[in-house]
C-alpha cells in the first residue's frame, strides 16, 4: 500500500485518530469517501475480510452521522455493483428512491408550488435504508458476504454516541444557512440536534447525536425493515405527521427499491454505466456521447476549446433532460431515442465551435455524498446518497434523530403537463448518477460527485480527463472545473469557472459568448467528487476531492 500527502486527523470519537490521505493505492481493496471517518470504517471492513458492498454499507452509515448536511437515513440512495469475478456479469443498479405520499395536501393537489423547505417539502419517503438492504442481500447471496448487518452499523453508532469533530464542509453550510435554520416552524425540531446550546458547533468542535445513535442501534438489532414496518417506522411517521408532513406509516411500508441492469453506453474502448431514470444518468451518457462525436483529439486539455466543447455538450443534453426525464412508471422516457447515434450526432451538429448557445434555464440545487469501494476480488461499488438540499427539508422526524429530505421539491407542480409533475405514489426526478467505466465486463473506473445540475458537468470533466487524457484520479480531481447556470449564491445565467483555468482561457471563452464568472480555486460550489481507478493487474488507485474533507484509504 502507498499513500501520499498524509496528515493526521482527529476523529472526535474517544480521542481516536485516523490517517487520511489525498490519494492511495493498493491491491487488497480501496475505498474513497468525503469524510475520513467514513473511509476508515470502510477500510476496516476490508481489513476484516469483508467485500466491497460490506465496506460501502459501513461507509454509508458513517456518512449519515458525520455529514448530516448532505446525507442521512431520511434520504435516498443509488448503488452500482460490478462483480469482477466474471467478465459476463453486467453491472447492477439499485435505485433507492422514495415515492410521494398517497394523500397529498389539497394545495399541492391544486397545483400550488412545492415548498423547498419545511414539512410540506417532506412529501416523499426515504429509501436510503432500503437500498442498503438490497445491497446487503446481493452481498450475502452473490458475493459470499459473511459480516453481520449489525457489525457494519457499529462504527456509525459509536460516532453518533461519542460525537465527531465538525468539519469544514459542515461548517460552511452551517454558516450559509445560519439565519434560516432558526425558523422553528420551517426547520421543525432541527435546533435541538444540530444547534446544541443554541449555536452551531465550529470546526473541530464535537457534535453528538444520541437520538440518531438509538435509531441506528434499533436498525442494527431489528434489521433494515424496521425503518419501514416496525416500531421505529411508527415513530418516524408520527414525528413527520406532527410536524406537518403528509407521509404516513402506510407510505413508509410501501417504499421499495428498484433493482435492474445498469444503463450503459459504449465510450472509447469500454462502456460507461449509470443509473436508469428517473435519475439523470442518461444525461451524463448523452454528454459523453456528444463529446465522442465532436472529438477531443484536436483539443489541448484545459484550453478554451476544451471547456467550450464540454459546456456546449452539457447544454444540448440538458435540453433533452428537462423535456423527458421522470418516473418511467408514470411517464414514457424514450431512452433508446435519447442514446441513439442519430440523436447524439444531431446534438453534436448543433454545437457551434465559435459561438456559445444562450442559457437562460433553471438550475437545480442539491447536495449529496459520493463514495466507492473495491475489494481484493476486483468487485466494485459506486454510490451516491442524498437528502437533496443541504440539510434537506430541515424537518426532524420526531425524536428519532432522523433529518428528512426534501426531494419532493424536485417535482413540477401537480397541474403541470410535464412528465415530472407531482402525483401520489410517484418518484421524483433525481439528479444523482454514480457511475462506472468497464472494460471486458470489469470495472476500471468508479466515479461520482455531489452537486445536482453540477453532477453531469463535473463528470464530463472527470471522464474526459481520466479516459481521453489518461490522468490519474488525483490529477483529474485537482484540475479546475466549471458550473453552468444559476446557483443558490449567484442567480445569474453564467458560466462559473474556477480561477485556476487562467485569465487567458476566461478571456477566450468570453469572446465565444460565454458569460464567465470566476470561482475561487477548489471552490465548494464545484462539487465533491471521488474516483477509484482499477488497473488490469488489479492495482487500485483512488482519491477524493481536494474540495472535500474526504480521503482514499487502501488495505
Catalytic residue numbers read 368
C-alpha pair distances (Å), 218 with each of 215, 235, 251, 429, 543: 5, 12, 20, 31, 33
How much helix, strand and coil, in percent to the nearest 5, is found in the chain? 35, 20, 40
What's the maximum distance between 2 C-alpha atoms anywhere in the chain? 62
User: 3-class DSSP state for residue 375?
Assistant: strand
SS3 at position 521: coil
Question: For residues 66 and 38, is the Cβ–Cβ distance under 8 A?
Answer: yes
Q: Residues, the chain, total?
A: 555
Locus of grid cell 479546475: 480
Interhelix angle 149-162/36-47, rounded to 10 degrees, is 150
Angle (deg, nearest 10), helices 210-222 and 149-162: 170
DSSP state of 467: I
List Cα–Cα distances, 332 to 96, 258, 512, in angstroms. 20, 17, 37
Evaluate whether 219 touches 236 at the Cβ level (below 8 Å): no
Phi, psi (5° rounding) for residue 68?
-65, -15
CA distance 176 to 301: 34
Distances (CA, A) of 231 to 116, 252, 356, 397, 442: 29, 12, 56, 14, 42
- Which DSSP category does 180 fall into? G
Helical axes 36-47 vs 52-66, angle rounded to 10°:
150
Can you tell me the distance from the alpha carbon of 194 to that of 72, in angstroms, rounded to the nearest whole number? 13
Amino acid at each position: 500500500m502507498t499513500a501520499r500527502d498524509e496528515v493526521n486527523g482527529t476523529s472526535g470519537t474517544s480521542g481516536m485518530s485516523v490517517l487520511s490521505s489525498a490519494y492511495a493505492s493498493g491491491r487488497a481493496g480501496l475505498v474513497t469517501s468525503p469524510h475520513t471517518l467514513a473511509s476508515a470504517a470502510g477500510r476496516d471492513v476490508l481489513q476484516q475480510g469483508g467485500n466491497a458492498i460490506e465496506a460501502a454499507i459501513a461507509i454509508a452509515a458513517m456518512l449519515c452521522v458525520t455529514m448530516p448536511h448532505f446525507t442521512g437515513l431520511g434520504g435516498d440512495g443509488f448503488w452500482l455493483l460490478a462483480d469482477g469475478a466474471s467478465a459476463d456479469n453486467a453491472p447492477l443498479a439499485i435505485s433507492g428512491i422514495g415515492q410521494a405520499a398517497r394523500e397529498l395536501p389539497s394545495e399541492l393537489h391544486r397545483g400550488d408550488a412545492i415548498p423547498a423547505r419545511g414539512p410540506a417539502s417532506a412529501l416523499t419517503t426515504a429509501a436510503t435504508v432500503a437500498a442498503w438492504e438490497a445491497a446487503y442481500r446481493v452481498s450475502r447471496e452473490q458475493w459470499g458476504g459473511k459480516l453481520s448487518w449489525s457489525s457494519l452499523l457499529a462504527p456509525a453508532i459509536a460516532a453518533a454516541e461519542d460525537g465527531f469533530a465538525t468539519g469544514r464542509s459542515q461548517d460552511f453550510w452551517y454558516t450559509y444557512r445560519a439565519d434560516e435554520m432558526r425558523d422553528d416552524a420551517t426547520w421543525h425540531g432541527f435546533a435541538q440536534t444540530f444547534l446544541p446550546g443554541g449555536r452551531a458547533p465550529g470546526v473541530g468542535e464535537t457534535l453528538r447525536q444520541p437520538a440518531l445513535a438509538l435509531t441506528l442501534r434499533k436498525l442494527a438489532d431489528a434489521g433494515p425493515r424496521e425503518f419501514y414496518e416496525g416500531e421505529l417506522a411508527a415513530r418516524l411517521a408520527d414525528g413527520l405527521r406532527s410536524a406537518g408532513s403528509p407521509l404516513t406509516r402506510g407510505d413508509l411500508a410501501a417504499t421499495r427499491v428498484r433493482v435492474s441492469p445498469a444503463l450503459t453506453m459504449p465510450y472509447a474502448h469500454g462502456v460507461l454505466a449509470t443509473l436508469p431514470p428517473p435519475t439523470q444518468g442518461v444525461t451524463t451518457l448523452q454528454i459523453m456521447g456528444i463529446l465522442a462525436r465532436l472529438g477531443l483529439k484536436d483539443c489541448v486539455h484545459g484550453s478554451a476549446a476544451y471547456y467550450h466543447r464540454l459546456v456546449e455538450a452539457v447544454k444540448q443534453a440538458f435540453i433533452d433532460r428537462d423535456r423527458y426525464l421522470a418516473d418511467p412508471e408514470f411517464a414514457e422516457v424514450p431512452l433508446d431515442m435519447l442514446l441513439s447515434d442519430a440523436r447524439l450526432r444531431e446534438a453534436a451538429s448543433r454545437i457551434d465551435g465559435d459561438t456559445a448557445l444562450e442559457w437562460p434555464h433553471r438550475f437545480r440545487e442539491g447536495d449529496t455524498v459520493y463514495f466507492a469501494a473495491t475489494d481484493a476480488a476486483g468487485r466494485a461499488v459506486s454510490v451516491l446518497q442524498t437528502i437533496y438540499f443541504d440539510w434537506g427539508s430541515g424537518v426532524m422526524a420526531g425524536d428519532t434523530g432522523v433529518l428528512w429530505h426534501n426531494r419532493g421539491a424536485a417535482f413540477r407542480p401537480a397541474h403541470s403537463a410535464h412528465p415530472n409533475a407531482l402525483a401520489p405514489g410517484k418518484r421524483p426526478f433525481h439528479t444523482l448518477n454514480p457511475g462506472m467505466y468497464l472494460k471486458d465486463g470489469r470495472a476500471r473506473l468508479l466515479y461520482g460527485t455531489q452537486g445536482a445540475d453540477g453532477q453531469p458537468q463535473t463528470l464530463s470533466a472527470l471522464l474526459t480527463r481520466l479516459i481521453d487524457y489518461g490522468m490519474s484520479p488525483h490529477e483529474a480531481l485537482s484540475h479546475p472545473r466549471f458550473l453552468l447556470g444559476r446557483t443558490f449564491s449567484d442567480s445569474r445565467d453564467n458560466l462559473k469557472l474556477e480561477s485556476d483555468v487562467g485569465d487567458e482561457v476566461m478571456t477566450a471563452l468570453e469572446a465565444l459568448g460565454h458569460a464567465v464568472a470566476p470561482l475561487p480555486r477548489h471552490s465548494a460550489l464545484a462539487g465533491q467528487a471521488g474516483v477509484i481507478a482499477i488497473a488490469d493487474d488489479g492495482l487500485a488507485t483512488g482519491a477524493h476531492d481536494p474540495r472535500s474533507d474526504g480521503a482514499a484509504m487502501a488495505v
